[in-house]
Structures are given as structure tokens and as C-alpha cells.
Structure 1
């Protein structure tokens, strides 16, 4: 909703009080200082560097602190009262008149949509503008590789550089729901890149991150920032989409909205109840659109996650394999996540590890910065005993997104690799950490049982086996060996011997 003409504000500087249309407002000290400085300079654009220098004086603070204060002020005095000037700073526009007509809104695409605005050059060196713009262009290119997103081209967003804008207006004009902003600061020989993801309509901050490094290593810093940001923004937006959809009435649900609701469950390790609810949502989505590739991929991901906790059986998991085959049969598909889900389904419970890896390689070529694609590839390589490649993919996934909710799955994979290398103590420590981050994972418990048995800790092995049996009461040695995707002969033999030693039936 577009704000009317900005309200009348009264700053009582000596008392540090703010009145909006005659009413006292609760305002934080930093927010008051930011508003006071903007008010003193109304009529001109105030750079972010100038605000940071004057409001925070000698304190070394991140640009995200300023972003938080601007968001708080917009809630108090209206979003239109403070205009954003991409790549520069902010301008107080209390005297501005409301437009005769609101900007014409472009329809939102049928997938999460975002625009990356030009970053602010806060280094104090105008000669670095080219470097700042290059970083933004690279980030747009990386985000464009994520098939689940609709990303506005750099040629469109760079036309906004240096102009006073309202984020909600930009969202409507470009037809996007999310905006990425940022700035680059320099302190001596060090650079700091601050990035934030906000919802265009509300200005709500969804995600922010800081990257820093030596100026001499700017290109390595740039590459790391682009890769990590692309990896982190993907789950942040999908989570925001799920929360947004939860607020919509059920009568307006579409196949897309049904998929959005199912996404958090499908991308995790659900229990039986959550699995069945999400499966029904995805079935409805496919009934509405039988050709919806994302729904097919999510159905595969849902069965993968549920099998990882043995909430379902291998036989139940295989029910989604026809959908995986449909995804892989279409050579035109450019959705890396759908290819990942289909490929890993083949590798995990389809008995086709090599074919699954072929699909995962396609997914990695399309999006080399996806946590889920890298982690799935790591597991698929580990099934074949390709330890070095598996480790590389697990570690890269964890570097790109160290706070991903599925980080425990990656650590579980690393623990298995440590066992294969004979580093049993490290395997136990990594497994215990993985179990804390992702309780109830079959693979983690199996590694703990086998590793404790291998190192002579039979009591501990039996304790983990009890948890194991509670998770899968019907577990037998033959049942496991028949269905396991692992193809490493020595590992299979160790599992068989360990299971027998802790009392798991034949």
C-alpha cells in the first residue's frame, strides 16, 4: 500500500523526542540521531559513509546497523519519507508530494523474484566504482543460475543508480518481491562488503551478512562473497515465501503455493505426520499442473528426507521414482534443484548411483553454489567410495552456508568419509556433532554403531544400536544390506559385522 504525503514531524533535539502528526513516538537513540542528521540535510542525498561517520563517530560499525535504523524510521514516519538512492545513500523527502498515480505494477512471476540494486561505494574512492559495480554484476549472474528464482537483469537495475527511490515502488515497477542491497567499505588495507536481503513491499530485513578481507585479495573476496551470498539467499527466500504463503487464505492456493508450503518439509528430514501432509500438498499441486517440474522435484526431495530418518521404508520411497524419471527424461529442464532431487533419488534408493551422479553433475553445472546440490553430490560420491570428491563437495557446501538447517546431513556424510579413511576418532566426534544438529538420522547412527564397534567400544555401540532399533524396529542385517546404497565392499562388511556384534537380527 502506497503511503500518502509524508507526515508532519517535529524533532525536539534538546529533549531527544520525536512527534509525528502531533503524537509522541518511541524512538531509539541511534534512530533519532540518523533522523536528525537527515533532517538537517533535507533536500540532498546523504551518503551512507557520511551517515556512518557522523552518527557513529569513531565507532567501527557495519553498514547493516544503518539499514536497521532506516527500517525503524520508515515504520515511524512512513516508507516514502526516506528515499533510497542505490549505490549512494538516503534522502529525507518530507516535503515531497505523493505521485498523482502510483507506479504501474508489473505482475509478479510464478516464482520468487528479486532485484539486486547497485551497491554503495563507501570506500571514499570514486575510482572504485567500477569494482563495486563489477561485484554487483557477478552477484546477479550467480543468482540468475538458481532456477527457482526470477532475477532482474543488471541492465535494468543499474538504471536506478544515483536516483532517489522507494523500495516498494521498485518492487512494483520491476515486478519483484525481494531486493538485495549492499555497500563496500574500506579501512586501511582491508575491505568489508555488507549485504542485506529485504522484502520490497514492507522493507522487512530477511537476511544480512558481512564479508571482509585484505584489499590485495579483492578478487578472491569477491568470488567468496558471490558464492556464499547466492547459497545463503536461496534458503532465506524460500523460507520467507513459505511464511508469506501461510498468511494467505486457503481459497487462493495455487500449485505454486502448495509447493511453497511443502518446501520446508521436503528440504528437511520429516517425521511420518509431516511427510504425509506435505505429500498430499504436492499431490494436489501435480493434480493442478501435471507438468510442474518443481513439484516433481519436491516430491523426490520429500521422500529422500523422510527415508533419511526411516519415517518411510525404501519401498515407499521408490514410489516417487517415476517422477524422477520424468524430470531426467526432459533434456530441456534447467532447474538445478529438480535435477538434484531426481538424481539423488536414483542414487539413494533407486539403485542407480552412476546415473544419479550424472544428473547431479548437470545440477552442479547449472548452480555450483547450491548447498543442497553440493551435499547431495557428496553423498552420492561417498556411496561409490569416491572419498576425495565427496569430501570436497561436503566442505564446499559447509563453507558456502555454515548455518544451513541441513548442515547436520553434511557432517554426517563427512563422518562416513572419515571412517572410510580409517580416522575413527574423528568419525565419532563428527558423528556426535551431526547427531546434535540433525537428531535421528539413520546414517549418523549407523556410523556411530560401526565406528564404536571398530574401536572396541562395544557398550557405546550397543547404546547407539538401541536408539537405532527404536528408530527402525524392523531392522535386520539382510534388510539393510539389500537396500543400502553403499557400494564400498569393506564398509558393507564392517556394517554387517558390527550389526551382528550388537545383536541386530540376521
Structure 2
């Protein structure tokens, strides 16, 4: 008989100490016998035997079901049953991996954002049960597409993918996830593959209680992945908010028409450019996107993603603006195409604004994108940047703050927060701008736009030595940078910002040119 080490955890987290007698297959909780099904008992036994580590879902399915071909939903049913008798925090979820039997006293989670007045959801990374680690990006792509589509559902607050993915591989209590992200529901799941068939199993959980309120399995062919994603999204939305049952199928992005490999390549690019830190990442991204477009020249999202890759590469000073301007005509063509896809409009509009000084045209596209998808972090972030280019700082601040709220754990916050530099400076809150920019610099020290904004903010407050230190760093990142080049290429059109550039850069070691 083994004794579970759960007694010292809070009463609302577990029911108390449990005793597990493997010989008689009996479970006692707080000294009282508890009826438990055979499969649930076997799951608990395996977790107890390996309480020192995370046990993957694949291992549990193999061990408890003896190699039988069973659905992952069978496992989630048993985990839910165990949480009912042991308490919602007795078994920790490790998103994208499996479960771990909790022990000891869990530290109190910090208070998070207040719950929105509308249904709120975080979609955790799904487990890859395909037995193919190289398919992780495909599984991540399914989750990312699901999140992107759900953000379009009116009356639904959805946490962005990069915040959800921050929990990958961490042993977490779903109640803590809900509290940290400020959401009521958590969606978890897995993807299995047999030949060309995909099976996606999802479970919707009420975060505060750990109560499973809905689960479903979706099966389809890999060639029909878009239809499978749409059916998945419809069902999730309907389960969360019954009034959405009549909603028609939503399409998250324009899909390739000629070659499905183009979609696969775009998924790979999204992973490559998620962190704006290495020039070689962009070189690889450009090559993959060129290949995707060659496979399907009508694939609007691949073209838009190429616009975006060149824009952030230029914004980070990983390439010169002139090296990116060849994609500007395609950005305008995408905006003129009549597309109803918010991300395509966003990437194209931002490219026109940054690479061609076309902020006003870009804002037309961004306003349409925001009306199509008001909860998209990508849309809100670009909208914030573009409004700052033309000096509309209040609107810019609202958009960036909402992007940060929807994506509180984004590992790429260095890029997002960088926008607050010119915005807060433009509002006269320069000390706040410096605080945010310093944090952004710490998170992404090689992102050139942050270094550039720190020069201006330090100079504005009279911190001359700090401004010159950033000037040296700016020249390290951009050895050929000059004042003339900066003024010719900057997307900013607000005259006070331009005057600050004229004053600060030469005084901080940037050649006149």
C-alpha cells in the first residue's frame, strides 16, 4: 500500500491524503473507501509509481490500455474521474505532454487579470500523439489556426497563441492557468495520426474547478485539414456559448488552392520568425515563403506572410529597407484584392506603412482588419504601430494595451512593447516610455527599433550618456546607418518625432550621411 503525499495541500485543491493498495485494488481518501473504475485505478497507479516525473499521454495509453488502439478521450475521462475524487489540483496538466501527480503545497498563484464579462478561453498546446516528433509544427499549426479562428467569434475573449504556448511542458494546475490569464475556460487536446487520417480529441474544462464540461473527437483526412479545423472551431464555439450554435463555419485564413504543401511551408515559417532575434532565421523564412508561393501563386496568406517577414526583418534592422521594398507592390495588390481576411490585410498594410511610408493607406487596411477581427493580437499590434506613425497616440495606446492583455505571456513581447516607446513619448509620458523600452530591450536586445526608440527617449529626458550608449549599440547593429537614411526610410510622419530624430541621432554618434 502506498500513501499519497497530498494531505498538506489546501482543502479546495485536493480532498486530502489518499491510500492506494495495489494488491486489493482499493483506494481510500481521508480514510474512507472510494469506488474507482479499473482504468482510473490503473492510471492513478502509474502516476503514483512515477510521481517524480511527468508521464506522457502516449505512455499512459500504452501502459493502461496495453497497446490497444484507443482514443485519447478515454484517458481524459479517467483523469477527470480521478480529479473528482482526489480534487482538481491532485493531478497537474503538462500542456503538450501529459500529467504529473501533484504533491506538497503548491505556491499561491499571483492574482491575474479580472475575468471579462464575456466567455473567455485559453487553448493550451495539444499533445502530439502521432509518434512523429517532426510533426510538432503541424500540431502547433492546428492549435494556432483554431485560436486565430476563435478570435473572430463575436462575444468571445480568446488568449493569443503565444501566451497559451508559454505553458508547454510546464506542470500547471488549470485553475492557475485560468487565474494567470484571466479566463474562465481552458481547452486542451491531442492529435493522433494513422496514415493520412487525423484524429483530434479536445476537452473543454472550467478552469477554476477543473470540471470537464465538454469533450469531442474529430476525424478527417490530412488533405482536408482545413475542413477539419473549421468543424473543430464550430463545435468549440457552440460548446462555450450556446447562442453561437447558429454561427456559420468560420475561415481563419485564405487557404491554398493549388498545393497543400504551401500551407505546410507557411506553418514552418511562422515558427521560424516568431522570435525576431537572428538574421539567418529571416533568410530561411524568405526561402521557404518563395517556395510556398512558387507552389501556389494564388495563396494570399503566403504572400502576406512574406510581406510581414520582410517588414519585421527591416524593422529589426536585420536587413536594409531597400532589400525589402521589392515586396511593396504585392502588399498593395493584396490590399486591393478585396480580401476579407484580417491577417492578410494586416501584414500587407503594415508592409506598405513601414517600407513605403504609406501609413495612411495602411491604416485603411488595418481599420478593415480590426472590424473583421477585433480580438486579433496581430491586428491590434500593427494598428498600434501605424497609429503611432501618424501621431494618433491615444488610439495607438488602446490597441497595444489590448494586445498585451490578450497575449500576456507572449515570448515576443520585445516587439510588441517596443511600440509603446513612441506612443508614450508622443503622449509626453517619456519616463514610462523608457521603463517599457528598457524591458523590451531586455527581452529582445537585438531588435533595432527598440534601440532606436531608446536613443530618442533617453535624449528627450536629458540622459545623454545613456542615449549615446544606445547610439553605439545602434551602430553595432546597423554599421551603415546614417541620419539621412533614417529620415528617408522612417515610417513616422509626426513632426515632433521627426524633429527629435534630427536632434538626437547626430548627437549620439549617428553619421549625418
Is TM (by shorter chain) over 0.5?
yes
Helix, strand or coil: the match of 2:334?
A: helix
Q: Tell me what 1:427 maps to.
A: 433
Which of the numbers 445, 468, 476 marks the counterpart of 2:474?
468
Helix, strand or coil: the match of 2:49?
A: coil
Q: CA deviation at 1:53?
A: 3.8
Q: Tell me what 1:51 maps to.
A: 82
Q: CA deviation at 1:342?
A: 0.4
Deviations 1:437-491 (A, max 9, x none): 1222222112211222222221111111100011111111111111100011011
CA distance in 1, matches of 2:157, 2:278: 34
Is 2:205 aligned against 1:183? yes
Listed as ranges, the matches of 1:78-477 within 5 Å are: 112=142, 178-184=200-206, 254-331=261-338, 333-477=339-483
CA distance in 1, matches of 2:351, 2:151: 35
CA distance in 1, matches of 2:489, 2:269: 27
CA distance in 2, matches of 1:314, 1:177: 44
CA distance in 2, matches of 1:376, 1:449: 22
Instruction: Mark the CA change 1:481 to 1:292 in structure 2 (over 3 Å): closer, same or farther.
Output: same
Q: Tell me what 2:10 maps to.
A: none
* Contact 2:92–2:100 (Cα < 8 Å) also in 1: no
Q: CA deviation at 1:177?
A: 5.8
Instruction: Mark the CA change 1:326 to 1:51 in structure 2 (over 3 Å): closer, same or farther.
Output: same
Aligned residues: 357
Gaps of 5+ in 2: 1-20, 28-38, 66-73, 102-137, 162-188, 220-239, 245-251, 253-258
* Contact 2:191–2:198 (Cα < 8 Å) also in 1: no
CA distance in 1, matches of 2:151, 2:461: 51
Instruction: Mark the CA change 1:263 to 1:113 in structure 2 (over 3 Å): closer, same or farther.
Output: closer
What TM-score, normalized to structure 1? 0.59
Helix, strand or coil: the match of 1:182?
A: strand
Helix, strand or coil: the match of 1:112?
A: helix
Instruction: Mark the CA change 1:72 to 1:52 in structure 2 (over 3 Å): closer, same or farther.
Output: closer
Helix, strand or coil: the match of 1:403?
A: coil
Instruction: Mark the CA change 1:167 to 1:429 in structure 2 (over 3 Å): closer, same or farther.
Output: closer
Helix, strand or coil: the match of 1:181?
A: strand
Deviations 1:364-394 (A, max 9, x none): 2222222111111100000011111100010
Is 2:23 aligned against 1:12? yes
* Contact 1:344–1:376 (Cα < 8 Å) also in 2: yes
* Contact 2:91–2:99 (Cα < 8 Å) also in 1: no
CA distance in 2, matches of 1:439, 1:197: 43
Q: Tell me what 2:15 maps to.
A: none
* Contact 1:113–1:177 (Cα < 8 Å) also in 2: no
* Contact 2:421–2:457 (Cα < 8 Å) also in 1: no
Deviations 1:203-249 (A, max 9, x none): xxxxxxxxxxxxxxxxxxx99xx9xxxxxxx9xxxxxxxxxxxxxxx
CA distance in 2, matches of 1:343, 1:484: 16
Instruction: Mark the CA change 1:427 to 1:272 in structure 2 (over 3 Å): closer, same or farther.
Output: same
CA distance in 2, matches of 1:379, 1:71: 41
Q: Tell me what 1:130 maps to.
A: none
Q: CA deviation at 1:139?
A: 8.7
Helix, strand or coil: the match of 2:383?
A: helix
Q: CA deviation at 1:50?
A: 5.7
Deviations 1:168-206 (A, max 9, x none): 78x99xx7664442223777xxxx8889999989xxxxx
Instruction: Mark the CA change 1:480 to 1:408 in structure 2 (over 3 Å): closer, same or farther.
Output: same
CA distance in 2, matches of 1:493, 1:409: 24
Deviations 1:10-44 (A, max 9, x none): 9535799x999xxx998345999xx9xx99xxx9x
CA distance in 2, matches of 1:301, 1:274: 14
Listed as ranges, the matches of 1:28-67 within 5 Å are: 28=50, 51-56=82-87, 61=89, 65=93
Is 2:505 aligned against 1:494? no
Q: CA deviation at 1:327?
A: 1.4
Deviations 1:249-303 (A, max 9, x none): xxx9922222222122344425332222211111111111111111101101110
CA distance in 1, matches of 2:274, 2:296: 21
Q: CA deviation at 1:67?
A: 9.0
* Contact 1:266–1:301 (Cα < 8 Å) also in 2: no
* Contact 1:308–1:443 (Cα < 8 Å) also in 2: yes
Helix, strand or coil: the match of 1:12?
A: coil
Q: CA deviation at 1:319?
A: 1.2
